[in-house]
């Protein structure tokens, strides 16, 4: 390997160590194709060492006072705040987001760290006094043991911060596998977590691809696995880890829809659609790739196209950039091929974003905002998750048809409605079969007091990441029924029934 290109370490037992693997992958700036670093595909032995370190650290960490755990995350959130600009710059270099969007990526993760600092209020059990004579029943929310997280390329700061802070705050230890495409900002966040005081072995990091994912699913000492990524991989993780007796939560792919009613505020709605469809180059599981224009709102297509044409496509570091590059050459080629398929399938290409001219970044993986109208199920651009800046427009005669159309799609990650009618909005939130609903909000990702609640084919597992749900995911409920006697207690004799008296 070239000595001038840095290598990404593993974190095992509190030490950053170089992998002994012979398999490495380049971390590439998607705007320039510059190789920024090389990441190892860890060996089976290295994963085993990371799990062993986490298992060894668990007995002491689970006994650590909850206030001590909380104070670590109070310090950690301040370290993230102090370094948010440099974290965003690192994220932009390896992932391609604009600096503003990268900072938002870090900030949404920071919100979960702040929530983890309130673990003393979240990890509370319940108590009922005198359920029978002198008998109390109460519950304890106790940590599981070693937990693991597998994160995607599109949110290399936010999603790791969804996972390990809440798991560790609950008293577990953790093994993190970041995306091998952009692990640099994740590792910087891990460094800050160690600086904040997370003890040796409580947080460990291994890098890798499919083999490491399978090894995590199979390892007998890992009690729970959290995954965010594609439906294909997520389904595999869920099935494999579940068969091995683990708790699993998998947040997966999506095909999010929005309904636009004719009474919606036009300018605000068009701005919202353009931002949600083309922001982050469409590489969000909560992006907005499908819009149903109801009735007269179908006349807004030219204005939506005009809005999209004003967006600047360039490197995320360039001032005023709205749409950065997609993550890889392969991703760009796939998006371009799906646009070609859309034309072949009979959709109307209202705006073609293929091969935009980006001065100074001719080697970048750029796709500009692309809009199709006349889209229907059965077309590849509708049936597949494109994960690029491609918006499909579907015509609907009324809200009933629009709701029925959305509910027929197998995915249920997010949806939205744009209207000024409270009655229409209330009906939509009641009748739509999707986990996360926005009302005049195009990307309804909840704040950490709540939990991410995708549904149907977009989610496997009952409990979502962060919020109250994730405390239940990362803990086991132990129910205790207790009676104490003293010398003045009158003996009641032998009771051979199941009831308490």
Q: Are 249 and 238 spatial neighbours (Cβ–Cβ below 8 Å)? A: no
Measured from the Cβ of residue 85, the count of other Cβ atoms closer than 10 Å reads 12
Residue given tokens 């597998």 in the structure block: 150
Q: Convert 490-500 to b/e letters by CB count within 10 Å (16 or more is b).
A: eeeeeeeeeee
Catalytic residue among 170, 217, 250, 285: 285
* DSSP track, 156-189: TTHHHHHHHHHHHHTT-EEEEE--TTS-HHHHHH
Question: Distance between CA 370 and CA 54 in Å, rounded?
Answer: 46
Question: Distance between CA 385 and CA 338 in Å, rounded?
Answer: 10
The question of whether 329 is a catalytic residue gets the answer no
Closest CA to 322 of 101, 32, 86, 31: 101
Question: Distance between CA 17 and CA 10 in Å, rounded?
Answer: 5
Question: Distance between CA 255 and CA 458 in Å, rounded?
Answer: 9
288 token code pair: 């907005």
Task: Provide the Cα torsion 114, 108, 47, 199; round to 10°.
Answer: -20
Measured from the Cβ of residue 484, the count of other Cβ atoms closer than 10 Å reads 8
Measured from the Cβ of residue 352, the count of other Cβ atoms closer than 10 Å reads 14
Residue given tokens 């997520």 in the structure block: 234
**445 secondary structure, DSSP code:** P
Query: Which residues lie closer than 8 Å to 254 by C-beta, 6 or more apart?
Result: 285, 286, 287, 385, 411, 412, 413, 414, 454, 458
Question: Distance between CA 91 and CA 157 in Å, rounded?
Answer: 8
Query: Which residues are catalytic, by number?
Result: 285
């Amino acid at each position: 390997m070239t000595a001038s290109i840095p290598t990404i370490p593993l974190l095992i037992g509190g030490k950053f160590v170089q992998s002994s693997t012979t398999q490495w992958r380049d971390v590439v700036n998607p705007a320039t194709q510059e190789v920024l670093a090389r990441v190892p595909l860890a060996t089976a032995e290295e994963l085993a060492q990371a799990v062993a370190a986490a298992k060894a650290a668990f007995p002491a960490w689970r006994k650590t006072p909850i206030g001590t755990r909380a104070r670590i995350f109070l310090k950690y959130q301040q370290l993230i705040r102090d370094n948010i600009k440099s974290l965003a710059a690192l994220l932009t270099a390896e992932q391609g987001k604009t600096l503003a969007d990268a900072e938002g990526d870090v900030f949404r993760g920071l919100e979960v760290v702040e929530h983890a600092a309130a673990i003393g209020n979240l990890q509370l059990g319940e108590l009922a006094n005198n359920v029978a004579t002198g008998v109390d029943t109460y519950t304890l929310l106790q940590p599981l043991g070693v937990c693991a997280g597998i994160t995607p390329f599109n949110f290399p700061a936010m999603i790791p911060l969804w996972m390990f802070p809440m798991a560790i705050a609950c008293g577990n230890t953790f093994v993190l596998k970041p995306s091998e495409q952009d692990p640099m900002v994740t590792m910087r966040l891990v460094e800050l977590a160690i600086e904040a005081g997370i003890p040796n072995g409580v947080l460990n990091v291994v890098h890798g691809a499919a083999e490491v994912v399978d090894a995590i699913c199979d390892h007998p000492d890992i009690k729970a696995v959290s995954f965010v990524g594609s439906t294909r991989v997520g389904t595999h993780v869920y099935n494999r880890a579940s068969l091995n007796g683990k708790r699993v939560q998998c947040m997966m792919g999506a095909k999010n829809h929005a309904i636009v009613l004719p009474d919606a505020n036009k300018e605000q709605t068009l701005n919202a659609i353009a931002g949600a469809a083309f922001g982050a180059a469409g590489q969000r599981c909560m992006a907005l790739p499908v819009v149903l224009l109801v009735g007269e709102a179908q006349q807004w297509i030219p204005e939506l196209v005009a809005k999209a044409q004003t967006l600047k496509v360039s490197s995320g570091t360039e001032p005023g950039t709205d749409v950065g590059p997609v993550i890889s050459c392969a991703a760009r080629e796939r998006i371009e091929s799906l646009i070609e398929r859309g034309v072949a399938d009979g959709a109307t290409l209202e705006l073609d974003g293929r091969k935009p001219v980006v001065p100074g970044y001719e080697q970048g993986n750029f796709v500009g905002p692309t809009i199709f109208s006349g889209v229907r199920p059965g077309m590849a651009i509708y049936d597949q998750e494109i994960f690029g800046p491609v918006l499909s427009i579907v015509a609907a005669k009324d809200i009933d048809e629009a709701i029925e159309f959305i509910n027929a799609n197998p995915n249920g990650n997010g949806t939205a409605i744009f209207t000024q009618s409270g009655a229409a909005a209330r009906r939509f939130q009641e009748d739509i079969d999707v986990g996360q609903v926005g009302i005049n909000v195009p990307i309804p990702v909840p704040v950490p007091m709540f939990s991410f609640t995708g549904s149907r084919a977009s989610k496997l597992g009952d409990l979502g990441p962060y919020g109250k749900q994730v405390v239940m995911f990362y803990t086991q409920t132990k129910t205790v029924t207790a009676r104490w006697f003293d010398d003045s207690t009158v003996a009641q004799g032998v009771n051979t029934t199941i009831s308490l008296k």
